[in-house]
């Protein structure tokens, strides 16, 4: 099966100044090409787990490896291979950036802040916007777009990194039904067409994409259940986790 894309062994993360871990002794292995949904009540550590995987939060115990490499030692290099959309990203109306500039920012992880973008970087931006169906928005101010349009731009920004791993934290929050459906179908298409490994944090279980092969249910900072959707989404199991 090869080297897992994500491998966590006994991982515990504690926020600075806190005594109680946000996530406890997490064991999680995600293979290449999987589409995994991370679910659970508010405050159980879903975002913490995503940020720990991405190397944005330092774990206090255990080991985190991506593509077989240690996140602590190789975090900066590994993040070049990850498309990440944090929770509840929105831009005020007067944000002074065009859509293409916002997407281009994703390329600086590859080229460095002191280097000027090259033709290949601009082509990556154009392709990313085309992939999510937002090429016509390239010269629009980001703050003038709707919430759904802004989220598609964030997805384009993640795609501009040409990632192998896609991490999405509540990508449908604060979107209406139409925008939510459009974003969901775009995520599924990108996952399938580009051969991505995708981990998505969801609150509304109705938003579970049909291609999702595996669901991880968290409770109190730990993994409560891990399996296929039919098994984990059993009403009795959900009731035990959400009580």
Q: Which CATH superfamily is domain 6-242 in?
A: P-loop containing nucleotide triphosphate hydrolases (3.40.50.300)
pLDDT digits (tens, 9 = 90+) for 198-236: 999 998 787 788 889 999 999 999 999 999 999 999 999
Mean pLDDT, the chain, rounded, equals 92
Question: Residue 214: helix, strand or coil by DSSP?
Answer: strand
Dihedral, 209, 45, 225, 237 alpha carbons, nearest 10? -80
Residue 225 has phi, psi (to 5 degrees) of -150, 150
- Taking the domains of the chain in order of start, what are their residue ranges? 6-242
Could you please report the per-residue DSSP string of 129-145? HHHTT-GGGTTSBGGGS
**110 has a pLDDT exceeding 70:** no
pLDDT digits (tens, 9 = 90+) for 55-106: 999 999 999 999 999 999 998 899 999 999 998 788 999 998 999 999 999 9
pLDDT at 176: 87
pLDDT at 111: 65
* The token pair that represents 148 in the structure block: 């759904």
Question: Residue 48: helix, strand or coil by DSSP?
Answer: helix
Buried b (16+ CB within 10 A) or exposed e, 59-79: beebebbbbebebeeebeebb
């Amino acid at each position: 099966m090869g080297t897992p894309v994500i491998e966590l062994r006994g991982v515990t993360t504690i926020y600075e100044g806190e005594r109680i871990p946000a996530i406890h002794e997490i064991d999680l292995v995600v293979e290449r090409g999987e589409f995994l949904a991370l679910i659970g009540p508010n405050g159980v550590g879903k975002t913490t787990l995503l940020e720990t995987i991405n190397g944005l939060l330092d774990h206090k115990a255990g080991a985190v490896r991506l593509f077989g490499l240690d996140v602590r030692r190789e975090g900066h290099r590994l993040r070049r291979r990850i498309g990440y959309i944090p929770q509840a990203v929105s831009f005020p109306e007067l944000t002074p950036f065009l859509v293409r500039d916002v997407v281009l920012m994703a390329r600086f992880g590859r080229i460095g802040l002191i280097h000027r973008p090259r033709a290949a970087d601009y082509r990556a931006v154009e392709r990313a916007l085309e992939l999510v169906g937002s090429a016509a928005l390239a010269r629009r101010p980001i703050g003038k777009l709707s919430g759904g349009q802004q989220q598609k731009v964030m997805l384009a920004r993640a795609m501009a990194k040409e990632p192998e791993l896609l991490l999405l934290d509540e990508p449908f929050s604060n979107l209406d039904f139409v925008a939510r459906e459009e974003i969901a179908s775009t995520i599924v298409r990108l996952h399938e067409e580009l051969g991505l490994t995708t981990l998505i944090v969801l609150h509304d279980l109705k938003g579970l994409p049909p291609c999702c092969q595996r669901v991880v249910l968290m409770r109190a900072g730990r993994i409560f259940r891990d399996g296929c959707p039919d098994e984990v989404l059993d009403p009795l199991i959900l009731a035990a986790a959400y009580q």
